[in-house]
Amino acid sequence: MSRIGKAPIAMPDKVEFSISKGNMVTIKGPKGELQQQIDPDLSVELEDGSLVVKRPTDQKRHRAYHGLYRSLLSNMVTGVSEGFKKEMELVGVGYRADNQGQLLTLMLGYSHPVMFYVPDEVKLTTETKKGSPPLVVLESHDKQLLGQVAAKIRAFRKPEPYKGKGIRFVGEQIRRKAGKTAAK
């Protein structure tokens, strides 16, 4: 992890960085504001317009945290400046997605619609085009929250290996299995 930890994080012009007591790092940008508690042993400094995470020793714990917190801070800087986006497609006959504000309604082949409230920090849109599977598009500045919400939505109907029906990420490859062969 040391190679990851040693790499500096480039700070865009519109992004502000501050660190308060207790190693609470706050990063503000045009898309929002994020906070992260950093291990007290590590230090975060602004050098030549980029963030640098430093560790005191080469202990295994310090090396592991060095790479971890550098990655978390990098994701925070990217999130508040550019944002993150995940697209999911619903593959299956009769599968539909609709949203009213932050309430996502999914028809996934069950006897009832599945309703899921998406947190306010995540922007939700649904698209239905003729000839292509319905899309659920999630956008946020918080990568952790976005991944968690996408995982919960995907868990309602994971892609199955025989026909490939279910909720999958756009571009995701599903390992397919051969079904039963007919007896002669």
Tens-digit pLDDT profile for residues 67-84:
999 999 999 999 999 999
- pLDDT tens profile 100-111: 999 999 999 999
The answer to whether residues 60 and 22 belong to one domain is yes
Q: Which residues, including other chains, have CB under 8 Å from residue 37's CB and lie 6 or more apart?
A: 22, 23, 24, 25
Looking at residue 172, its pLDDT comes to 87
Looking at the domain assignment, is residue 184 inside a domain?
A: no
Q: Give the pair of three-digit tokens for residue 111.
A: 């006897």
The CA dihedral of 76, 77, 79, 83, to the nearest 10 degrees, is -170
pTM score: 0.88
Is 175 inside a domain boundary? no
- Angle made by CA atoms 161, 125, 150, in degrees to the nearest 5: 45
Residue 161 placed within a domain: yes
Token output for 49: 């317009």
Distance of alpha carbon 120 from alpha carbon 32, whole angstroms = 12
The pLDDT of residue 49 is: 85
49 and 118 belong to one structural domain? no
One domain for residues 35 and 99: no
- 55, 69 Cβ separation under 8 angstroms: no
